[in-house]
A and B are shown apart, each in its own frame.
Chain A
Amino acid sequence: MPAGGCWQSGCGIEGRSVTASHLVIGIGNPLRGDDGIGALLAEQVGGRCVQQLTPELAAELAELEAVLFIDAWLAPAGAVPRITAISPAAGAAESHRLEPAQLLAISQALYGRTPEAHLLQVPATLFEHGNALSAEIQAALPQTRQLLRSWLARHA
């Protein structure tokens, strides 16, 4: 894939539907460069694409066994894609800026349970208007795809 390739040309994840008890949620705006990586990857696997996390998602999370959030990451130089486990964590919340841990906390508080949750973070650098991905994030896609495949395999 050429440098700066458009996200619309795909990222090589074989279509694998998530089950009713597991969900992949991609966070970000596909028209703001690398910010759209979460939405791109989630769409490839039949997941959900959201521009931001909002409170009503907590009701859905409470019914899931497992959830994977995918998000662009303003990482330190040299960082690589990573998956980390996340736990519910309340705190100062803005509706526009609900973090995955806060969404889990809402789910726990209102519905009494949360799914097993992970966050796949992809280092990102380009956030200009447009649907082109940066060369850096393109280079990170193979490792990112492997992490995503591994998670899907564990939650088949």
Chain B
Amino acid sequence: MGPDPTPRTITIDPVTRIEGHAKITLHLDEAGRIADARFHVVEYRGFETFCEGRPFTEMAGITARICGICPVSHLLAAAKTGDKLLAVQPPQAACKLRRLLNLAQLTQSHALSFFHLSSPDFLLGWECDPAKRNVFGLMAADPELARAGIRLRQFGQQLIEQLAGRKIHSAWAVPGGVRTPMTAETAAWIRERLPEAQATVRLALEVFQRLLDQQLVEEQRVFGTFDSLFMGLVDGQGQWSCIDGLLRLVDSRGVVVADGLSEDDYAAFLGEAVESWSYLKFPYYKPMGYPEGMYRVGPLARLNVCERIGTPWADAELAAFRTRNGTEASGGRIATSSFAYHHARLVEIVACLEAIGQLAGDSELQSPHVRSHASLNATEAVGVSEAPRGTLFHHYRVDDDGLITRVNLIIATGQNNLAMNRTVAQIARHVIGPSPLAEGAEIPEALLNRVEAGIRCFDPCLSCSTHAAGQMPLRIALIDARGRLLAERVRD
């Protein structure tokens, strides 16, 4: 008996342990092989429309509420956009303080991603019961690692609170600068807590690299390993940058495709496609068209586009990262496996902690001059920042009273959209193998686990826009190649 000719869809719903809600559908062709994979975002994010009519000075507070995990990213992008609407240059102290805030943000977000979202997979194994392959399983298997991860995230969160007065939704970063300088007490606190934080990431690197050598060999090969462009900010010396600088795109061979790009001109080199089956947009590099202009952002991309990080330990870890992950085609320079995002996050934590230590010793951050003042001097502006998940753009148009008339937000996760779909398809093809799925074949748990894990490489954030006790919309749909709904199940 030959394979079932009816195209089928395998659905994984919901995807756990990522921020927000989504489902994955795998489309089989008539031969029963994986034809396509789609990562559906089912939650509508209407913040852009909501912002219209609001004073641009409120945008930091509004956009920070898009996500409770990385609000600082939106605060900083909004503040930088506001700088341009006022046509002011923030004092140098303010620029350094904003950078310090973002370094703390990257630290806490990456810590959450690695220790609580992803490490259960690494440490407990893909075949572990899903009911245990989570933070509770991690705590049982390695409570010390779990506690260390919490302490590392607390370090980032508490530094944000010390600078900005609140851990989340702070109004500290404003157009023109920031509200207050760093205190001497905060500088002392950083020096006191930094060694423990660094010890934690050192431990994590040891544990993870051991796993990479022993248990995660296959994953490095098949979890989203493909050519693409990579985009991120670099400073004037081509070094890793989390907030200021210009945009660079490189390809998988390490060739610089575009360099010195300003966020002001993003519409000239970034397009945004729309697909009927997802609320996420699909950004792409315009000169190469859609979908060939697929690019990745975030930790992997930032390490790929930079020449170096600029601090000794981080540069040593970057060299080790490239030795392990760099492809032959790029002369060992570019990592193309999406699984390397996890390693990249740890390298970035090292970079953040070293930079935090340097800034704690910089007396300029305690200067009282941290804000430039002006009235509205422009009616359109774009701000950019590197969020934990990748490059974030805020584009505002305002009227003469400074009220928002149009907003466009290009979110980091959206820019990885095409790459996430491709990763899912690759993993699925690998797990299922070349043989078509026969009618009635059991879908292995391993497939479901690995496809979800492939998405988690990107640490996507689909907005934590609501939290209501008991709310968990769940939809499973089976759709054939002709677009006919074959079956559907909804759970409220």
Partner of A92, one of B16, B116, B146: B16
A109 touches B143 (CB 8 A): yes
Closest to B471 in A: A74
B68 contacts which chain A residues (CB < 8 A)? 29, 50-52, 54
A50 touches B168 (CB 8 A): yes
| A105 in the interface (beta carbon within 8 A) | yes
Q: Which residues of chain B (456-492) have a CB below 8 Å from chain A?
A: 464-472
Instruction: Count A-B contacts at CB 8 Å.
Output: 123
Closest to B152 in A: A56
A51 touches B139 (CB 8 A): no
B217 contacts which chain A residues (CB < 8 A)? none
- Interface size grouping (class) on chain B: 35 or more
B136 touches A91 (CB 8 A): yes
Closest to B135 in A: A93
B467 touches A35 (CB 8 A): yes
Q: How far is the CA of A22 from the CA of B149 in the complex (A)?
A: 25
A59 contacts which chain B residues (CB < 8 A)? 150-151, 154
B202 CB to nearest chain A CB (Å): 20
| B430 in the interface (beta carbon within 8 A) | no
B464 touches A52 (CB 8 A): yes
B465 touches A72 (CB 8 A): no
Known: A30-B65, A31-B65. A91 touches B49 (CB 8 A): no
Q: How many A residues touch B, CB cutoff 8 Å?
A: 43
A93 touches B134 (CB 8 A): yes
Partner of B465, one of A27, A32, A94: A32
Partner of B468, one of A74, A91, A93: A74
Known: A51-B464, A109-B140. A96 touches B50 (CB 8 A): no
Partner of A29, one of B69, B151, B153, B464: B464
A124 touches B65 (CB 8 A): no
Partner of A94, one of B16, B46, B140, B470: B16
B50 touches A109 (CB 8 A): no
| B131 in the interface (beta carbon within 8 A) | yes
B130 touches A95 (CB 8 A): no
A93 contacts which chain B residues (CB < 8 A)? 17, 134-136
**Chain A interface (Cβ < 8 Å from any Cβ of B):** 27-32, 34-35, 49-52, 54-56, 58-59, 71-75, 90-97, 99, 102, 105-106, 109-110, 119, 121, 124, 127-130
**Chain B interface (Cβ < 8 Å from any Cβ of A):** 16-20, 46-47, 49-50, 62, 65, 67-69, 71, 112, 116-117, 130-131, 134-136, 139-140, 143, 146-147, 149-151, 153-154, 157, 168-169, 464-472
The 5 A-B residue pairs with the shortest CB-CB distance, nearest first, are A51-B68, A129-B50, A90-B136, A72-B468, A71-B469
Provide 15 A-B residue pairs closer than 8 Å at the C-beta atoms, listed in order of the A residue: A29-B464, A31-B62, A32-B466, A51-B67, A51-B68, A51-B169, A52-B68, A52-B467, A55-B116, A58-B150, A59-B154, A95-B69, A96-B69, A110-B146, A129-B49
